[in-house]
A and B are shown apart, each in its own frame.
Chain A
Amino acid sequence: MKLHRIVALITRHLYLYKRSLARLMEIFYWPFLDLVVWGFITVYLMRFQGQMPGAVTFFLGALILWDVLFRAQQGITISFLEEIWARNLMNLFASPLKPSEFLAATMAMSVFKVMAVSIVMVVAALVFYSYNVFIIGLWLIPFVLNLIVSGWTIGVLTTSLIMRFGQEAEVLAWGMVFLFQPISCVFYPIEVLPNWLQAIAWANPAAHVFEGMRIVLNSATLPLMHLGWAVGLNLLYLTLMIGWFHHTFSVCKERGLLVRVGE
């Protein structure tokens, strides 16, 4: 892997954000609105604190962490879509750039997005609702890292599908992640799911992260088992997805799809 090629791609995307209001809205406007709407719902739910202890912590914390996963996925998929929209894929892949370097650059972009969005949401939650996400404590760090990796996995999966099936699959860039939301148990504990769905949810690393977050907030005990599962599953899925991305890339070159994607 050559760092200068990864830096070149990151530079190309940062230039885009420099003067694009629509792209900046993706970082500042939508996450902020999300937080405002959910914040007011949470304020309303606080009236029932007796029945729902820790509602604010659960909902706002979960919302901020869900956005970490969502933006990590978007960072990868939207970066690929940007190249399709700009008809720039051939400029990239007919250069010495390797697919792995391309993925590394999109992952770096997703970290950049996650950081920017998180700052907006953390500050807004503090200013508007006096909510401090850091009450989760140091556990926040492994939770966030795991959610970023989960986002990458879904991002690489979505990117591979768009590369393989072209423009018709573009909608997946925004929709795919929500397929995983019910089984990530973002806003409710895993026990509310039917048994058969619980079994599927336990195979989802994000479910372990959110379950772990609830354990920390409820009992201040250490969710080491959940963290272990999240790390293990994330590593397994990301490795599989990167392998699948490379396979799809080869298939697309074989079938001449790489030069036609986006047409």
Chain B
Amino acid sequence: MSLPIVEVQGLIKRFGDFTAVDGISFEIRPGEIVGLLGPNGAGKTTTIQMLLGMITPTAGSIRMFGLDLAKHRETILSQVNFSSTYISMPYSLTVEENLRVVAKLYGLTDIPRRIDEVVKKLEMEESRGKLTRKLSSGQMTRLTLAKAILTDPKVLFLDEPTASLDPDIAHKIRHLLKDVRRSAGLSVLYTSHNMREMEEMSDRIIFLQRGKIVAQGTAQEITTRFGQSDLEEVFLKLAREK
């Protein structure tokens, strides 16, 4: 079995008296897609933000590619990227200009070819010269995904990546991610409130509740363990538990 590409050990984040993430540990292996599931406020986004170095953990360790994130931030983050519904990109730049800036930021070579490839993959040829402020929310989501895969990351963190996409584009995005995973051995940590999508995409699911991992395994294992017919039933059961 291959060594984990992401290793999280005893991760804790407290904001004053509030514990957002409470001692979670998990691993992601090369080429694995792991779903991070849980109700609002469960700690999913905080976890991803800690993995991206945007929030400093109160305790615990994050290792990627065998390196400690606290000590090797630059090396690690050059091989990682993310997309989130909660971020945007500079509105006054065109799609292409935004991608060019990201490419320069990550020190890519042959930038025009890389942009051509990504724009084509995400079917954004028509909006390539458009100002970002004129994009629809679906196009904006595709732009943040384009910036995420543009840099050829080895690990991708996706926070509700298909939340504002129509079913057709969301379906295409899921296929694209699976393709990239197959061809580039990409590892993905994924959050979504779409249970069907979670089941379809994830090799393994981590269920978070109030900052703790309450279940971990394949969708089948989790539904069986909680005696429910599908993941949505498990979600409802756990989310409504006091």
Contact = CB atoms under 8 A, between A and B. Distances in A.
Nearest to B49: A259
A5 B89 CA distance: 17
B54 interface: yes
A90 B84 contact: yes
Contacts, number: 94
A250 B74 contact: no
Interface residues of B, number: 34
Contacts of A97: 105
Nearest to A20: B92
B44 interface: no
Nearest to B88: A87
A8 B105 CA distance: 5
B55 A12 contact: no
B92 A16 contact: yes
B46 interface: yes
Contacts of A91: 87, 89, 102, 147
Given A4-B104, A253-B55, A98 B90 contact: no
Interface string A46-76: 0000000000000000000000000000000
A93 interface: yes
Given A4-B107, A5-B105, 13 more contacts: A8-B104, A8-B105, A12-B101, A15-B101, A16-B90, A19-B92, A90-B84, A90-B87, A94-B80, A95-B78, A96-B78, A253-B53, A256-B49
Interface of B: 13, 15, 46, 49, 52-56, 73-75, 77-78, 80-82, 84, 87-93, 97, 100-102, 104-107, 147
Interface of A: 2, 4-5, 7-9, 11-12, 15-16, 19-20, 82, 86-88, 90-98, 250, 253-256, 258-259
